[in-house]
């Protein structure tokens, strides 16, 4: 969101003026105390069209939102009874003044086992249906995604797992379009054949730590983490090749 008018609305002097999203949402909900969910508030921008963060400050601040003024309506409106829930992938880009008006709840990311459970319960059935397949055309074994998990965990994002499943379903759909009607069982070997070898291997850490003089470090962000290794050569000089971060 980059346009302040998305929140405060346009003044009626402009052609095509309309109410802001807050007032429009209240009208659709037909209530003065609904629950608003503002997704990815860390993606706010600021340019010549205004600063949405300052407009949101007026909306979220309990000391100000009882007299919120939409430019289109041009009358004060009480937002103190509205419950606002915002989401953000990273908290750092959120302006400090806006962050002070929020109660921050940090939710940890998914582990590899949780990703596998989500895939089995939700993502597999969704992708199979979206690609016009059914249980007679494709079947996933329980360990089908095991060798892909280091790669998915390194990226730290659930959508990457869904894209991998979609790619497998597209491969099977193409086989059927070419006239091969046999059922495809997705196993670790089938995954490697269709998608190629995994880009990240857990064995790499084991291989590096087997050499004497290698120290292991951890690089961490809010989205993912990875292990780094460092080794010194004889004479005290660091080995540049050993510092490359395995994922």
**Does pLDDT of 146 surpass 60?**
no
Q: Which segments within 87-231 are labelled E, that is strand?
A: 138-140, 184-186, 214-220, 225-231
pLDDT at 35: 92
199 burial type by CB count under 10 A (0-12 exposed, 13-18 middle, 19+ buried): exposed
Model's pTM, two decimal places?
0.60
The pLDDT value recorded for residue 46 is 63
Categorize the per-residue pLDDT at 212 as very low, low, confident or very high, splitting at 50, 70 and 90: confident
User: What's the average model confidence in pLDDT over 34-58?
Assistant: 79
For residue 86, what are the β-bridge partners? 38
- With a cut of 50, say whether residue 104 has pLDDT above it: yes
pLDDT at 157: 55
User: Closest by alpha carbon to 82, among 12, 2, 22?
Assistant: 22
Chain mean position to CA 235: 46
Q: What's the length of the chain?
A: 247
Whole-number pLDDT of residue 2: 63
**pLDDT at residue 202, rounded to an integer:** 61
Query: Which has the closest alpha carbon to 204: 154, 158, 164, 157?
Result: 154
Compute the C-alpha angle 93/99/100, nearest 5°: 150
């Amino acid at each position: 969101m980059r346009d302040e008018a998305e929140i405060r609305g346009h003044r009626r002097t402009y052609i095509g003026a309309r109410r802001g999203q807050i007032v429009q949402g209240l009208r659709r909900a037909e209530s003065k105390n609904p629950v608003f969910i503002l997704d990815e508030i860390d993606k706010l921008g600021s340019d010549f069209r205004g600063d949405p963060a300052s407009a949101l400050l007026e909306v979220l601040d309990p000391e100000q939102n009882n007299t919120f003024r939409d430019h289109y309506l041009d009358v004060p409106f009480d937002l103190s009874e509205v419950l606002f829930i915002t989401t953000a992938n990273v908290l750092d880009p959120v302006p400090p003044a806006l962050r002070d008006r929020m109660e921050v709840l940090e939710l940890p990311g998914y582990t590899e086992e949780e990703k596998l459970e989500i895939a089995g319960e939700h993502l597999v059935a969704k992708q199979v249906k979206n690609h016009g397949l059914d249980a007679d055309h494709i079947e996933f074994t329980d360990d089908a995604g095991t060798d892909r998990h280091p790669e998915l965990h390194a990226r730290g994002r659930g959508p990457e797992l869904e894209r991998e499943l979609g790619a497998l379903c597209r491969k099977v759909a193409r086989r059927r379009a070419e006239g091969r009607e046999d059922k495809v069982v997705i196993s670790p070997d089938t995954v490697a054949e269709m998608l190629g070898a995994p880009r990240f291997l857990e064995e790499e850490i084991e291989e590096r730590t087997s050499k004497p003089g290698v120290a292991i470090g951890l690089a961490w962000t809010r989205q993912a983490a990875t292990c780094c290794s460092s080794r010194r050569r004889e004479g005290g000089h660091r080995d540049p090749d050993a510092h490359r971060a395995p994922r």
